[in-house]
Amino acid sequence: MKDLSPKQDQILDFLRSFIEEKDYPPSIRDIQEGCAISSTSVVDYNLRKLEDKGYIRRDREISRGIEILGARGRRARIVEIPVLGSIAAGQPIPVPTSDRFGNDTQDMVAVTEDMVRGKTNVFALRVKGTSMIEDLIDDGDIVFLEPARSAVDGDKVAVWLKDREEVTLKRIYHEGDRVRLQPANSTMQPIYTSAENVEIQGKFISSFRPSD
Amino acid sequence: MKDLSPKQDQILDFLRSFIEEKDYPPSIRDIQEGCAISSTSVVDYNLRKLEDKGYIRRDREISRGIEILGARGRRARIVEIPVLGSIAAGQPIPVPTSDRFGNDTQDMVAVTEDMVRGKTNVFALRVKGTSMIEDLIDDGDIVFLEPARSAVDGDKVAVWLKDREEVTLKRIYHEGDRVRLQPANSTMQPIYTSAENVEIQGKFISSFRPSD
DNA sequence: GTTCGGCGCGAACATGCGTTCGAAAGGCGC
DNA sequence: GCGCCTTTCGAACGCATGTTCGCGCCGAAC
């Protein structure tokens, strides 16, 4: 796992840029041409070296069976999260689409999965307004939520208010047969409504502030 | 760009999971086996259909020359950002390493590049303490910074304090030949020090709060 | 019924591509 | 100089893989 020869370094660089551009690994002969090497066996030789040193992984007998390891290669699992819309701005958010891949032009953000704690089906919303400012959630923040239909008192949840036809982000408290939706902003009043009127959409996981 | 047959849908799914797992696209025959198709020509046929419909791109005559387009394929540029250490906790942070890829075991987070506004060489730090709480930066947050050697008054910057040998995140104000490092916490006092004593490391871009 | 187009099938073909082998050309210590 | 190892070279071998073509199997339109 030490330093590598200039040629190996060159090959590694070529590997990266090739994959970056084409989205699939190069063949031995691609590398040969790309690095101006005279023989395929030289490429093979150095590839073995790189494998020994742990920089790449190769699937033998398989064309283009090269995988970059280490640093960039030991890639953390990356999840792409749809940004479904805005929250607490009065307008309804689109119902979480069937995901799969119909949502072509939809906003997406990608994060390492530890940023959403390995949860699945996480979605995101843009926060409008400062109703949760004391929970350090500001206007313009992006909040990550995991789908949920229920929550315990004090949870920060996105809820659908049937009568208002809007989604809002608040702390939730069950009080008998009604629900208190508590903003984290001392200048704002809680919303009291009936339990039937609220439909929990998701629970707060984490948040991101795009800019200053 | 309309709906696709069950077989095409299946192939597309297989493509995704294969690439996800192996890091390189499957061959025609890989698809054949993986989807229990009896002939390679059937795969080829449906692959052409998928290409016509714009779901994939193929490089002819090239083994495994398949690239997924659309939705997941038109992948947003993802940048990996090193989390260099903690800030404002008293201990120094390691000097931003030479990047390239010597930093194997280093913590990394990946985000879409719009989350760091396309800046380059961005790095990240974990925040310790609540000295910036009123700027909505809490203990445990991860802040993204762009390298900078100077800043204008009011900027949130990470500065190296030579005499204390520590890095801290504060708002900076130049006051004559001295510098005021202003915490965003009314219970804390600003730090006054000489301009020579501070070395600006980076400017605040954005922040992320991992958990509730 | 017949026809036609979408789709699947299997086999053969041509070539892309990984692998192997023998030989030779450097470094490096002796 | 002499060994010994690493690296390079060129060519051939052979499997892996993309491509093609003729032939069936429908279901829809006529």
**CATH code (residue B95):** 2.10.109.10
**Residue B179 is inside which H or E element, if any?**
strand B178-182
Euclidean distance between CA atoms B51 and B53, whole angstroms: 5
At a 7 A CB cut-off, the residues bordering strand C are A 27-30, 40-41, 44, 58, 60-65; B 5, 7, 37-42, 45-46, 49, 61-63, 65
Report the pLDDT value the prediction gives residue A63, as an integer from 0 to 100: 92
The stretches of chain B forming alpha helices (DSSP H) are 6-22, 28-34, 40-52
> Contact B183/B190 with Cβ under 8 angstroms?
yes
Structure token digits, residue B30? 């890989």
Q: Phi and psi (nearest 5°) for B42?
A: -65, -40
- Whether A116 and A24 share a structural domain: no
- Whether B109 and B54 share a structural domain: no
At a 7 A CB cut-off, the residues bordering strand D are A 5, 7, 37-42, 45-46, 49, 61-63; B 27-30, 40-41, 44, 58, 60-65
- Domain end point (choices A44, A68, A92): A68
Low-confidence ranges of chain B (pLDDT < 50): 1, 72-74, 97-105
Report the pLDDT value the prediction gives residue A25, as an integer from 0 to 100: 92
Alpha-carbon dihedral B41, B44, B50, B52, rounded to 10 degrees: -100
Could you list the residue range(s) of the whole structural domain that residue B169 is in? 78-208
- Domain end point (choices A23, A42, A68): A68
Report the pLDDT value the prediction gives residue B89, as an integer from 0 to 100: 53
Indicate whether B35 belongs to any domain: yes
- Whether B193 and B169 share a structural domain: yes
Euclidean distance between CA atoms A53 and A155, whole angstroms: 48
Indicate whether B57 belongs to any domain: yes
Q: Phi and psi (nearest 5°) for B12?
A: -60, -45
Report the pLDDT value the prediction gives residue A70, as an integer from 0 to 100: 59
Task: Give me the number of domains chain B comprises.
Answer: 2
Higher pLDDT: A1 or A210? It is A210
Indicate whether A73 belongs to any domain: no
- The one-letter amino acid at A27: S
- The one-letter amino acid at B85: G
Euclidean distance between CA atoms B189 and B179, whole angstroms: 14
Report the pLDDT value the prediction gives residue B212, as an integer from 0 to 100: 55
Note the pLDDT tens digit of each residue in A76-135. Answer: 566 777 777 777 655 555 555 444 444 444 677 777 777 777 677 888 888 888 888 888
Euclidean distance between CA atoms A146 and A124, whole angstroms: 9
Report the pLDDT value the prediction gives residue A165, as an integer from 0 to 100: 76
Counting residues of chain A whose pLDDT is more than 70, the rounded percentage is 82
- Whether A50 and A98 share a structural domain: no
Indicate whether A1 belongs to any domain: no
- Whether B55 and B91 share a structural domain: no
CB-neighbour burial class of residue A69 (10 A; exposed 0-12, middle 13-18, buried 19+)? middle
Structure token digits, residue A181? 């939706």
- Whether B119 and B50 share a structural domain: no
pLDDT tier at A28, thresholds 50, 70, 90 = very high
SS (H, E, C) B113-145: HHHHCCCCCCEEEEECCCCCHHHCCCCCCEEEE
- Whether B33 and B106 share a structural domain: no
pLDDT tier at A74, thresholds 50, 70, 90 = very low
- Whether A26 and A99 share a structural domain: no
Preferred mutation among B100, B112, B138 to probe A, highest tally of A CBs within 10 A? B112
The pLDDT of A155-172, averaged and rounded, is 84
Indicate whether B104 belongs to any domain: yes
Report the pLDDT value the prediction gives residue B100, as an integer from 0 to 100: 41
Catalytic residue chosen out of the listed positions A131, A156, A203, A207: A131
Q: For the domain that residue B42 is a member of, what is the CATH number? A: 1.10.10.10
Alpha-carbon distance values, A27 to A31, A127, A154 (Å): 6, 47, 56
